Amino acid sequence: MQASLKSKHVQHDATRKVRLQEWWFRNRALIGYAFIFPWFAGFIIFDAMPFIYNLYLSFTDYQIGTVSTPPWIGLDNYTEIFTEDKLFGKSMYNTLYYLGYSVPLRLIFAFFIALILNLRVRGMELYRTLFYVPTVVPLVAATVIFAGFLNTRYGFLNQFLVLIGAAPVRWLSSPDAIKPSLILLSLWGFGAQMIIFLAGLQSIPDDLYEAAAIDGGTGWHRLFYITVPLMTPTIFFNLLMGLIGGFQVFEQVFILIGTHGGPLQAGLVYMLHVYNKAFRDFEFGYAAALSVILFLIIFVLTILLVYTSNRWVFYGDAQDDET
Amino acid sequence: MIEDPRSKMVRHIMIYAILTVGAIVMMVPLLWTVSTSLKTRDKITIRRLELIPDPIAWENYPYLLEARPIIQYTRNTMIIVVASLFGAWVPCTLAGYAFARIPFPGRNLFFGILLATMMLPYVVRLIPLFLFFDEIGWTRTFGPLILPRLLGHNAFYIFLYRQFFRGIPDDIHDSARIDGCSEFGVWWRIFMPMSRPVLAAVSIFAFSFAWNDFLNPLIYLGSNKELWTLALGLNALQGFEGDDNSLNLIMTFSMLMIIPMLVVFYFGQKHLITGVTASGSLKG
């Protein structure tokens, strides 16, 4: 500041430019704040305020007709969810069922195929692409494709089953088959995890395997004593992301079987219940309470997983830099 | 390692068998989609497997363009895509640069907040955001879909940039600063050109998330057909069980949504992996 005050003589552009640069140089922090400002503004408007307001809403009876301040009803929404709402238990069960199969199966398929692709056989790039391409298909398109693919009369799967002499299945209209259909659709996208595993596998240094080979280790030894331990951070990452995403499964179900969740509501997942309460029944307060419960479940689960990860996740990566 | 050539061959055959069977299973839904998209209407209702359609109904594609406002859907989708790319290129890289390179008080705190928001499920913000946008009269407009994207409201992109920028040697940054380059200049003249892999990777994410977004357009644009995106248009074309007469057109529409994604993926796949792994995102 002083520098600019002292300069009473005529400034040509060059010196002014230098002054400006000096000023900025000393006030880098301001630039830092300026650079993160758009993100921070977004954080306040689209994250922090909605999060807090959502919490508040969950204690109110905000409905479609509510004009001014929504009436505060304390824990009523929560008591209703836990005591009266049959669909809460149902949708939670459906979601857990979906998660319980789709997340582990995706990880197993992804890890297994990534291991094979990592053997560096000829044509590996082609196979990698073929396994990955389904994940490039937009979710809406993938779901619509599965709706046709699993169509009772005209879908590929049933026509194929008939061809080999098996009985066709009412994939999307029988309560027993809805959840398996959703899991099938989810498995079609295991390439996303596979590619992450593959990147992880390729970063394992070769000399570790060479050392093991010199010591007389077999293929299984290498797999269980080198590959799997070194891959635990990636497995952990995929598991956590899979669970967080799986709890919020929505679009596939919405498109594949509609908002009601299909016959006997066998496909009513948790997010669909939240969506129906908010955007069909317009019970925003109630839906907010449902969403808070889902948040708490995801939050506690994340904490538990991170906390217990010390026991099985191996972070001794040699090429790790700080953070 | 010395290996018996016979067992090596058996092993190779097994590997290729697994990969080939797996790849076929993965590709069948797509092949069926391509095939169905080229079937005539009376062919789809034949209850027999027919992978190569006869006759090939190329006319499904021009017919769909005429029967449905595909051009309009595409334009609407592209508006969201462009907003998303702008956000990913400008505000997100600036924030990533600041987190990686500019020391300012509270940086770690802000970065901690950023990481925390990555874990915040969308569901706990969905309803208040809807009520907020409804309050200011923005529902049935692009506003709610565009504004967050223009601001670069995506912690994941910022995180990827930050990790990548930290990998650029200090010397380059310091020498540019000593030569009198401003932070803005360092970002624009040095970091951005050096960051092609991560820029490409984030651009692919930004494109595909905007192209594929369904829930937000559904909530905000669902009742305004003029502004429907491709995803909404495709969903509307889809009938439920028992109403399958347009199965071929549904697959035609699906192909129209898939092809641009395949093109983006084809040109970007090299960067997708290098960009993400170079950013060290998996190592946290």
* pLDDT tens for the 323 residues of chain A, in order: 445 544 444 456 677 777 766 776 667 889 899 999 999 999 999 999 999 999 999 999 988 766 678 889 989 999 999 999 999 999 999 999 999 999 999 999 999 999 999 987 788 889 999 999 999 999 999 999 999 999 888 889 998 998 898 899 999 889 999 999 999 999 999 998 998 899 889 888 888 888 888 887 777 888 888 899 889 989 998 999 999 999 999 999 999 988 888 888 999 999 999 999 999 999 999 999 999 999 999 999 999 999 998 888 887 654 444 43
Would you call B15 and A287 a contact, using CB atoms and an 8 Å cutoff?
A: no
Query: What's the rounded Cα separation, in Å, for the pair A294 and A271?
Result: 9
Residue type, A69: T
Of A286, A289, A295, which Cα lies nearest the Cα of A66? A286
Of B267, B19, B281, which Cα lies nearest the Cα of B160? B281
Which chain A residues are Cβ-neighbours of B219 within 8 angstroms? 279
Would you call A233 and B282 a contact, using CB atoms and an 8 Å cutoff?
A: yes
pTM of the model as a whole: 0.88
Whether B180 and chain A come into contact, CB under 8 Å, resolves to yes
- Residue A72 β-bridge partners: A60
Would you call A47 and B125 a contact, using CB atoms and an 8 Å cutoff?
A: yes
ipTM of the complex as predicted: 0.89
Would you call A24 and B182 a contact, using CB atoms and an 8 Å cutoff?
A: yes
Query: What's the rounded Cα separation, in Å, for the pair A152 and B29?
Result: 15
Whether B176 and chain A come into contact, CB under 8 Å, resolves to no
Question: What number of helices (H) and strands (E) belong to chain A?
Answer: 17, 0
Exposure string (b/e) for B160-175, b if CB count within 10 Å is 16 or more? bbbbbbbeeeeeebee
Nearest CA in chain A to B279: A321
Whether B9 and chain A come into contact, CB under 8 Å, resolves to no
Interface of B with A in 225-254 (CB under 8 A): 231, 234-235, 238, 240-241, 244, 247, 250-251, 253-254
Which residue is listed with tokens 């789809």? B44
Would you call A134 and B284 a contact, using CB atoms and an 8 Å cutoff?
A: no
Q: To the nearest 10°, report the CA torsion of B105, B107, B113, B118.
A: 170
Would you call A39 and B114 a contact, using CB atoms and an 8 Å cutoff?
A: yes
